[in-house]
Amino acid sequence: MPAGLEEPVDRWITKTNGVKKCWRAYYKALNKMGFYQKHIEPRLVSLACSSPAIARERRKVVPHAEGVVLEVGFGSGHNLPFYDAGKVTKLFALEPEEKIKKLAAKRVAASPLEIDYLDLPGEQIPLEDRSIDTVLVTFTMCTIPDLPTALEGMARVLKPSGRMLFAEHGLSPDGSVAEWQNRLNGIWGCLGGGCNLNRDIPALVTGNGFQMEQLEAQYAKNTPKFAGYIFSGRAKAI
Ligand SMILES: C[S@@+](CC[C@H](N)C(=O)[O-])C[C@H]1O[C@@H](n2cnc3c(N)ncnc32)[C@H](O)[C@@H]1O
């Protein structure tokens, strides 16, 4: 090696080794993330959805579902025990995530309802216009990537006499809580299957094909405020 070059070459080698180490660490983290997303995240999300505070919110809306029902983001079937089986003639369970559907198997088997799975995302509801009596969405509007398109689809499939029932967490009206929701949103989404803390649910519902008929909003008990501001109610398609 020509004199004087040893030092810069050594420095270059050290630097590229550092870069290689960084890439290796990055790929390792991605692999771990893959394991997390495949095996841990669905169970964590399902666990979070089974808390008593969340059950209280389900009890407010799910028993009102009637006729032919479309549940968007069926998840692991936590709403099933809350349906009034005497009022529901059929349930379309829309759930795009296979790994989450598996967690619903026991609840589906135990349910008296006639359940048809739809394996597509909420942005692509494969049902006829005006064919559904009740659209039920619980704790899913936070996760659907293109929520405006999904809401327009839900409005499209509802009969004129039909209603959308919802219970969703979202943006708090309290400035300090909202600030934390905005701060935590990115990391929360990475760990919680793409869940957003800071969606303005009533504004999104009324801005995308619905008129609000009933709306309640409050913090759920025993739940951190940033994840526990819950909107529940009923809306009709316009
Ligand atoms: C927090 S879980 C709630 C599940 C269920 N609704 C409940 O109340 O227990 C959110 C659900 O939304 C589903 N999801 C994600 N992306 C979606 C999409 N584009 N359309 C419909 N559902 C979606 C997830 O797979 C997951 O099952």
Instruction: Enumerate residues 6+ apart whose C-beta is below 8 A from 58.
Output: 78, 79, 82, 138, 167
Q: Mean pLDDT over residues 209-223, rounded?
A: 97
Using CA positions, which residue lies closest to atom 14 of ligand 1?
73
If asked whether residues 141 and 67 sit together in one domain, one would say yes
Pair (5, 96) in one structural domain: no
pLDDT digits (tens, 9 = 90+) for 115-172: 999 999 999 999 999 999 999 999 999 999 999 999 999 999 999 999 999 999 999 9
- Judge contact between 70 and 134, C-beta under 8 A: yes
Overall residue count recorded for the chain in this entry:
238
Instruction: Give 15 Cα–ligand 1 centroid separation in angstroms.
Output: 44
- The reply to whether ligand 1 has any atom less than 6 angstroms from the CB of 95 is yes
CB atoms within 10 A of CB 75: 24
Residue 236 pLDDT? 98
Predicted confidence (pLDDT) at residue 103 exceeds the cutoff of 90: yes
Residues sharing a CB contact under 8 Å with residue 121, sequence separation 6 or more, in sequence order? 96, 144, 145, 150
Residue 50 has a pLDDT of 82
Residue 78 CA: nearest ligand 1 atom is 9
What span, in angstroms and rounded, lies between the C-alpha atoms of 136 and 167? Answer: 9
* Sign of the alpha-carbon torsion through 214, 146, 238, 236: negative
* Beta strands at 210-219 and 229-237: parallel, antiparallel or unpaired: antiparallel
Query: Is 14 in the same domain as 59?
Result: no
User: How wide is the angle at C-alpha 11 spanned by C-alphas 5 and 17, nearest 5°?
Assistant: 130
Q: Which domain holds residue 208?
A: 50-237
Could you give the percent of the chain with pLDDT greater than 70?
A: 86
Tell whether 43 and 54 lie within a shared domain: no
Verify that 12 and 86 share a domain, yes or no. no
**Residue 90's beta-bridge partner residues?**
68
**Average pLDDT rounded to a whole number, residues 217-234:** 97
Task: Report pLDDT for 34.
Answer: 74
Do 100 and 216 belong together in one domain? yes
The reply to whether 4 and 55 lie within a common domain is no
What average pLDDT score do residues 210-235 get? 97
Q: What is the mean pLDDT of residues 210-231?
A: 97
pLDDT (mean) for 82-107: 96
> Structural domain tally of the chain?
2
Q: How far is the CA of 192 from the centre of ligand 1 (A)?
A: 11
Task: Give the pLDDT band (50/70/90) at residue 37.
Answer: confident
The per-residue pLDDT for 10 is 62
**CA-nearest residue, atom 25 of ligand 1:** 97
Q: What is the CA radius of gyration of the chain?
A: 22
- State the CATH number of the domain containing residue 91: 3.40.50.150
* Closest-CA residue to 74 (of 93, 98, 46, 47): 93
Are 111 and 3 members of one domain? Answer: no
130 and 22 in a common domain = no
Answer yes or no: do 94 and 192 share one domain.
yes
Instruction: Report how far ligand 1's centroid is from the alpha carbon of 30 (Å).
Output: 23
Same domain, 189 and 229: yes
Tokens of 30: 């991605």
Instruction: Identify the residue with better confidence: 168 or 29.
Output: 168
**Mean pLDDT computed over 21-30:** 56
Q: Label the pairing between strands 229-237 and 158-169.
A: antiparallel
Is the dihedral angle over the CA atoms 130, 122, 90, 230 positive or is it negative? Answer: negative
Residue 146: per-residue pLDDT: 98
Average pLDDT over the chain, rounded to an integer = 90
The percentage of residues in the chain with a pLDDT greater than 90, rounded to a whole number, is 77
- DSSP, collapsed to helix, strand or coil, labels residue 159 as strand
pLDDT given at position 49: 83
3-state secondary structure of 187: helix
Query: pLDDT tens digits, residue range 66-92?
Result: 999 999 999 999 999 999 999 999 999
11 has pLDDT over 70 = no
Query: Are 63 and 14 in a shared domain?
Result: no
Q: Between β-strands 67-72 and 210-219, what pairing exists: parallel, antiparallel or unpaired?
A: unpaired
Identify the pLDDT of residue 39.
75
